[in-house]
Structures are given as C-alpha cells and as structure tokens.
C-alpha cells in the first residue's frame, strides 16, 4: 500500500512543469532567527542561507529543482559545534550550499521524528548513526546520501582524513577521495546535475527499504476483542515470562566482564540497567522462570556497571552530573556533553540500586549505603540553578565545548573539565608547601598524570596533550592509605579538600559550557519522575532535601501546564513540544505525553494531590486520541478501527510517535518500541496505562480502568513479533509483559481526611516509598468516610454509590 502511494507520488512529481527562472525568484536569506530553537538560532550569523522545514521551503526546492541539504544536530554536541565552526562558517562552503542546494537546519530535540527517520537511513547505509547528521535529499525529502561528521575543508581533521589508509587506497586505485564536507557536497551536486533521474530512482528505492524500519509495532494480530471477551493474560499472545529469560541470556553474552557495561563506545543505557535491577524485585514467578542464580548475576552486572559509571570519567567529579557516553571501553574518555533527560534516567537507576541492595539482618536503609551519595549529588544537580531554567522547568543540556579561560577566543572540547598536572597541583596546594601531600593523594585518586591520561589513540588531533580527565579507576581508599602511610580517614579528608579547591577554582576562573535552555516536555517528565521518587525515599533521612526535590518537580509540572498546555483545545493537539522564550510552534509528540504522564503519576503517588492524577488522565486520553493505532475490530459496533491498513495506520495497537498528518508523505510514521538511550515511548505508555487502569478500577468508573488496561495490553502485544525475535532490544516492554501476565502491584493506605495518611499506615507508606521499581504498581489512598455521605473516596474520587 505504502509503496504504491509513493510510486504514484514519484510519477506525479516527475511530470514536467513550468518552473520560473531562477532570476525571477528572490535569493535565499538566512531564516534561522525565525526558529524557536536556540540551536538553530545560533546559526543566524553564519553565511549559510538556512531555511526552516516548511511548505514554502519544499515548494521552493521543487520549483528550483534543487536537492535539499539537511543538517540535524543539537547544541550540546562537540561535532555539531565543530561542523558549524569549520564548514558552515566557511564562506566557500556556504556559497556552494546556497547555490547548489536548499539548506535546511533541524534541531533534533525539536523534531525527533525526522531525526529518527534519517538516523534509520544512516544506519542502513553506513552501519552507523549519530550527530551531526548531514543529509542530501530530493526536493520531496527522499534520501540521496548522508553521513555523520564530515571535516571542514583545510582543517586538521580533513588533512588527517585525507592521509588515512582508506583515502590513500582510493587514490592509488585512481578513484577520487572525498574527505571533507565541501568535496562531498560537490560530488552530490554533480550526481544530481548529471544523473537526476537515476538519483531520484535510487532515493525512492532507498525510502522503500526504509519502510522495513517503519514496520516496528505493526505485525500484531490486528484484532481486538471486547473487554469481556479478552482475559488479562490471554491477549498477550505468545508473550510470556520466558522472554525475560531469553533477554537476560543475550544481555549476559553482550556484557563486558572486565570493564562492565556493554560494547564500545560505552553508553550508560539506563533502560537495560533498570531491567537487570528489576529482575530481583519482580513477583516470585519471574525468578521461578529465570532462576535465582541468574537473577543474582543480573543484579551483579547492573551494580558493577553503575560502579564504573560512578567512578569513571563520565561523572563530573568536581560538580555533578554525567556525560553522555565514553569512547573508551574502560569509561576513561567521555563525550563531554551532559544531557539532562539521561541524567534523570540515571538518577532513577541509581535510586533503585540504593533502595534495592541486600542488607544484613537488622540493618535498615541509610544514607551511608552505597550509591546514596550519588543519588543525593545527582538530585542536587538537577535542582540546581545550572539545570533549572530561569522561566521555569528544566533545561535540555550542557554543551561539551567551552572556553578554557575568560577572554579566550576559541572553544575547546572538555575545556571545563580537564586539567594539566601542573595546574592541578597548583590549585590543590593553594600556594602552601604543606599541601604537597594533598596534591599527591588527589592525583593518585583521580589518575592525574604528568603528561596527561588521555590515550594517544583517542586524541588523533592532539587536542588533549598533557590534559587529564578525572576518574577513579581501580583505586581503593585502603590501597592509597597503605601507599601514602596515612589512615583511610585522612585519605578521604585530603580528597575532599582537593575537590573543594578544584571546584572553587573552576567556578571562579573557567567559563561554564553553554546551556540549551529549551524546556522540553519529555525531558521534564523524566526529571519530574526521578525527583518525585527521590523525594519520597529521602524524606525519611533528609527532610529539607526531600522538600527541595519535590518542590522543583511540582513547579516544573505547573510550568508546563501553565505555559505549554491549552486545555481549551479539545480537537487538536493541546500540548506544545517545548518552551524557550515562548511556547514552540511544534506540537508535542507521543514521547512528550508518555514521559509527562509518568512524571505526573509519580508526583501524584508522593503528594496524593488530585490535580496531577486528573491531568495525567486528560493527557492520556489526548495521547490515545492523537497517536494510538487502534486495532481492527470484527465487531461493526466497536469503536475500534474497521478499515484497511494504510501508510499512516496499521490498526495493530500501540502508539505512533507522530500524529497522522505530515508536511510530506515521505515523512514516515513510526512506532517506538525498541529501547535506546531512553526507554521506548510505547513501553512508558504501556506502564502508564497499567497504572491508570489499576487506579481507576478503584474508582467510580470501573469501565474506564478496564479500558486503560485493555489499551496497555494491546500496546505491549503490538510488538509481539519483535519481542519474540529480539527480546533483549525491548526490555522496557518486557516489564509490561510482567504486568500483563501477573497483574499490577497494588498497595492501599488509609487517608486521614486531610490529604495525608493515618499514623497506623506510616510504616506501610515508608516501605512503599523506599522500595525499588519492578512491575507497574499503584499506591491507593482510601480516605475516611465523611459523616453523612456514602462510601469513602479513593484517590480523591468518590467510589460508586458515594454521590
């Protein structure tokens, strides 16, 4: 069906048409200032005539019969910064792009839908993806060629690429070598001018191949039954607890037993770590299938990896927060950007590791336990002025590049975080000869070397000569105590002293990396969730901190509701994607709804404030209306879809990432089921639906609860074919399999009639709040019966018969 539609479109577009001469059209001008995105606006002063992706741009590309050059990037990334500096600021490159192409600039955080589509293309063609993503497209957005970072002409990076073995081999064979941005652009332009028909045909065929990526979540049975005919367990098809065992087996084979984590480069992968930690806390039936010993191994893999993340170079050891990933297997060399959403996800995993560790009999949870310090540090970071946006909510990221010192003219990757041994010693000693001992201890602790600790193979352009990235690699306090002949307590004191001095110096003398101050709904949902859960657990040990975390989460939710949610819009999409100076023109995607609903449910669980549950329900109903792929129903009276499948609807269950309408049919409609740096949208949505279903089953409208549970099971089963074949890629959805098979965990507490919980249930409440995550679970507040009224209220809603 989709191929036929695309073929019809291709034939239609190939028909000759009268195009006005180029001289009749005004020249392109840089429109970057019109964008809502700070990343796009940063390019307003470059000589490239950047266009926004809209109907006018597509119309101009078609009228001039020019390919589109599309750059997808984000503000925090080093190589995006490098591309802007070396290519887009180069007058020669800019002039060629402006003349031969229609240049379009995309912030991947503003348009994650486009980023996903073309990342799939890059991975299919180049076996790799990432940012920046540079693409040459036909005027109707079919991909001609693309790749990630290409060096600017005449730069050290392009010189090194030209001298590489691959480039030399091509030249020796008499072939042209395209080793820089301008050379690649010229090659594509020549291809288009000389072989346009072939270019269009191959681009069309490639898009057809990309449909394979678009099929995820569309192989479900396509038939839904009424609730009364669909038992909770039966409609998951062949999905069962066995898939958790299969996933764990494959993950174990992928695991790095030496340096921990998975593969190289090393990404934290919060979704996978969360799955490994949850296995111990799922209902007993899961361990019966997997085996207690394998569950223990899973926990050990997760805990060992979290220790390496905690101790390695991803952690900002002088401030707080974690960088995006390590290019080395031993976690020693990071990409220095900090992504706020991923830090929030890591907070949730570290929180589970702290709450879920086994303790000796009689020993209770405390802030002295392993990982508690990381939890507090990370929650403090997320609630700091560095992460909270001035207008409200939480920012998106901190950049990798910055100026080494005030007054510098050029930014450098990691400049804010790296140290020469000489500067390190001078700062730690603070001008006192008595502090030589502190400097030596701190240098040994953080692996600070005289000639730097960055491996030469990770520094091909000599950008980190003599620089040190702080990390703790296989260093125990006891070993340092023995090496320096002082007590372990003195080692800890000296390291703490060094940290204070280095941090103060860095804050005083260096320039902090730039922030992307977009308040993105999905990112804020992740932070709200993590902070609410952390506040609930910490309140028993540090009430002041807990109140700070909860206040920040609540204020972010209020900000989004006030600035980005239009409750009057009942037909369209009432939620905007982000706020920066003003609400974005781009509307929210399915992931924005999913993560915000999750955050609100966690906020409600801590506060029992009905506002959050009420809004979560409205958001869920809107998400379902806009994005849900309702299965085909054989019952003509059913509200489910009864028509044939199409490129925009498969009628297989689950949530599409985008709404049905699109600027161009080439923009495929995808479903997110596979976990990547974040849990998949459908996994989060399924969890939300299970929780909402369980909560509303307790309330007056039990039919509403049953409907949510049906949608949850349909969402999980939409990915049945993929999960059965590749369960380790869908571990977050496997949590939904547990809930679908074994039910939603439920705990009831008695309300005191004032929004709190009676004294007798305080220990029940504490046990709930200090338990790690497992399957979907709900905390039910049953308020006292009000004198003279009917049944008591549940979760702020009167039970049936109470009105």
Q: What is the pLDDT of residue 362?
A: 83
pTM of the model: 0.93
ω before 103 within 30° of 0 (cis)? no
Instruction: For 296-322, write each residue's pLDDT tens digit.
Output: 999 999 999 999 999 999 999 999 999
User: Is residue 135 within 8 Å of residue 150, measured between CB atoms?
Assistant: no
DSSP string, 209-272: HHHHHHTTT--S--B---GGGS-TTGGGTT--THHHHHHHHHHHHHB-TTT-SBTTTB---HHH
Tokens found for residue 510: 């260096």
Q: 678: closest CA among 273, 249, 117, 148?
A: 273
**Is it the case that residue 672 has pLDDT exceeding 90?**
yes
**In this structure, what token pair is assigned to residue 391?**
């207008």
Sign of CA dihedral 203, 209, 213, 214: positive
Q: In the structure, what pLDDT confidence band is assigned to residue 229 with cuts at 50, 70 and 90?
A: very low
Residue 631 has pLDDT above 50, yes or no: yes
Q: Model confidence over 152-187: pLDDT tens digits?
A: 998 876 665 555 545 454 454 444 556 799 999 999
* pLDDT score recorded for residue 17: 47
For residue 782, list its beta bridge partners.
750, 794
**Average pLDDT of every residue of the chain:** 89
Asked if the model's pLDDT at residue 24 lies above 60, the reply is yes
pLDDT above 60: residue 577: yes
Q: Which residues pair with 412 in a beta bridge?
A: 402
**pLDDT by residue (tens digit) across 704-716?**
999 999 999 999 9
If one compares 790 and 67, the residue with the highest pLDDT of the two is: 67
Under a CB-based contact definition with an 8 Å cutoff, are residues 331 and 317 in contact?
no
Q: Whole-angstrom Cα distance, residue 12 to residue 204? A: 13
* Size of the chain, expressed as the number of residues it contains: 803
Give per-residue pLDDT as tens, 421-459. Answer: 999 999 999 866 557 789 999 999 999 999 999 999 999
In this prediction, residues 384-389 reach a mean pLDDT of 96
Handedness of CA 50, 53, 56, 58 (dihedral sign): positive
pLDDT, greater one: 10 or 506: 506
Question: pLDDT band at 702, cuts 50/70/90?
Answer: confident
- Quote the pLDDT of residue 23: 53
Q: What angle do CA 673, 675, 681 make, to 5 degrees?
A: 50
Q: Could you read off the pLDDT of 634-654 as tens digits, one per residue? A: 554 444 554 556 668 889 999
Q: pLDDT-based confidence at 665, cuts 50/70/90?
A: confident
Token reading at 149: 């970072």
| Window from 14-28, 408-422, 526-540 with minimum mean pLDDT | 14-28
Q: Which residues contact 195 (CB under 8 A, 6 or more apart)?
A: none
Across 13-27, 194-208, 687-701, least confident range = 13-27
């Amino acid at each position: 069906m989709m191929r036929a539609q695309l073929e019809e479109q291709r034939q239609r577009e190939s028909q000759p048409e009268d195009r006005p001469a180029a001289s009749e059209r005004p020249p392109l001008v840089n429109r970057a200032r019109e964008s809502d995105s700070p990343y796009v606006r940063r390019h307003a002063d470059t000589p490239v005539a950047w266009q926004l992706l809209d109907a006018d741009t597509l119309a101009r590309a078609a009228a001039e019969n020019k390919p589109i050059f599309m750059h997808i990037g984000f503000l925090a990334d080093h190589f995006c910064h490098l591309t802007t500096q070396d290519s887009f600021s180069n007058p020669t490159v800019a002039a060629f792009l402006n003349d031969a192409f229609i240049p379009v600039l995309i912030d991947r955080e503003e348009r994650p839908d486009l980023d996903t589509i073309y990342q799939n293309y890059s991975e299919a063609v180049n076996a790799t993806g990432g940012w920046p993503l540079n693409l040459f497209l036909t005027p109707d957005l079919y991909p001609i060629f693309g790749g990630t970072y290409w060096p600017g002409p005449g730069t050290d990076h392009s010189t090194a690429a030209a001298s590489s073995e691959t480039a030399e081999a091509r030249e020796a064979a008499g072939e042209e070598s395209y080793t820089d941005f301008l050379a690649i652009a010229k090659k594509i332009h020549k291809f288009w001018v000389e072989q346009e028909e072939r270019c269009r045909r191959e681009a069309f065929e490639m898009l057809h191949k990309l449909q394979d990526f678009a099929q995820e979540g569309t192989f479900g049975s396509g038939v839904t039954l009424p609730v009364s005919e669909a038992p909770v367990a039966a409609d998951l098809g062949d999905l069962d607890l066995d898939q958790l065992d299969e996933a764990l087996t494959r993950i174990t084979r992928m695991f790095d037993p030496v340096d921990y984590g998975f593969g190289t480069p090393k990404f934290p992968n919060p979704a996978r770590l969360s799955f490994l930690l949850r296995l111990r806390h799922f209902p007993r039936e899961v361990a019966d299938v997997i085996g207690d010993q394998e569950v223990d191994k899973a926990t050990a893999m997760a805990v060992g990896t979290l220790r390496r993340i905690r101790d390695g170079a991803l952690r900002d050891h002088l401030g707080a927060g974690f960088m995006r990933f390590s290019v080395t297997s031993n976690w020693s060399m990071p990409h220095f950007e900090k992504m706020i959403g991923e830090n929030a996800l890591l907070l949730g995993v570290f929180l589970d590791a702290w709450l879920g560790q086994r303790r000796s009999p009689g020993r209770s949870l405390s802030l002295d336990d392993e990982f508690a310090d990381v939890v507090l540090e990370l929650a403090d970071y997320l609630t700091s002025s560095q992460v909270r946006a001035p207008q409200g909510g939480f920012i998106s990221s901190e950049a990798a590049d910055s100026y080494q010192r005030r007054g510098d003219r050029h930014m450098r990757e990691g400049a804010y975080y790296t140290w020469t041994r000489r500067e390190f010693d001078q700062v730690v000693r603070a001008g006192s000869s008595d502090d030589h001992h502190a400097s030596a201890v701190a240098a040994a602790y953080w692996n600070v070397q005289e000639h730097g600790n960055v491996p030469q193979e990770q520094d091909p352009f000599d950008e980190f000569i003599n620089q040190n990235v702080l990390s703790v690699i296989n260093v125990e306090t006891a070993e340092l105590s023995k090496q320096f002949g002082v007590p372990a307590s003195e080692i800890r004191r000296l390291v703490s002293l060094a940290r204070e001095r280095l941090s103060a110096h860095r804050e005083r003398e260096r320039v902090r990396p730039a922030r992307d101050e977009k308040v993105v709904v999905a990112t804020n949902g992740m932070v709200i969730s993590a902070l609410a859960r952390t506040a609930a657990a910490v309140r028993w040990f540090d009430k002041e901190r807990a109140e700070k975390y909860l206040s920040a989460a609540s204020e972010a939710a209020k900000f989004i509701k006030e600035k980005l949610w239009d409750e009057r819009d009942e037909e369209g999409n009432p939620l905007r994607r982000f706020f920066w100076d003003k609400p974005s023109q781009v509307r929210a995607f399915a992931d924005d709804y999913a993560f915000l609903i999750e955050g609100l449910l966690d906020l409600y669980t801590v506060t029992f404030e009905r506002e959050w549950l009420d809004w979560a329900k409205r958001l869920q109903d809107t998400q379902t209306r806009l994005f849900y792929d309702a299965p085909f129903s054989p019952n003509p009276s059913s509200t489910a879809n009864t028509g044939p499948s199409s490129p925009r609807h498969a009628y297989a269950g689950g949530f599409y990432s985008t709404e049905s309408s699109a600027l161009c049919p080439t923009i495929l409609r995808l479903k997110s089921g596979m976990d990547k740096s974040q849990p998949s949208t459908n996994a989060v949505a399924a969890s939300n639906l299970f929780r909402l279903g369980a909560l509303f089953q307790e309330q007056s409208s039990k039919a509403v609860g049953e409907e949510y549970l049906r949608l949850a099971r349909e969402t999980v089963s939409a990915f049945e074919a993929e999960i059965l074949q590749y369960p380790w890629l869908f571990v977050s959805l496997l949590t939904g399999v547990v809930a679908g098979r074994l039910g939603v965990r439920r705990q009831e507490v008695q309300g005191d009639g004032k929004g709190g919980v009676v004294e007798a249930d305080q220990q029940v409440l504490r046990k709930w709040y200090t338990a790690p995550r497992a399957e979907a679970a709900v905390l039910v507040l049953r308020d006292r019966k009000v004198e003279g009224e009917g049944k008591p209220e549940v979760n702020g809603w009167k039970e049936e018969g109470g009105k």
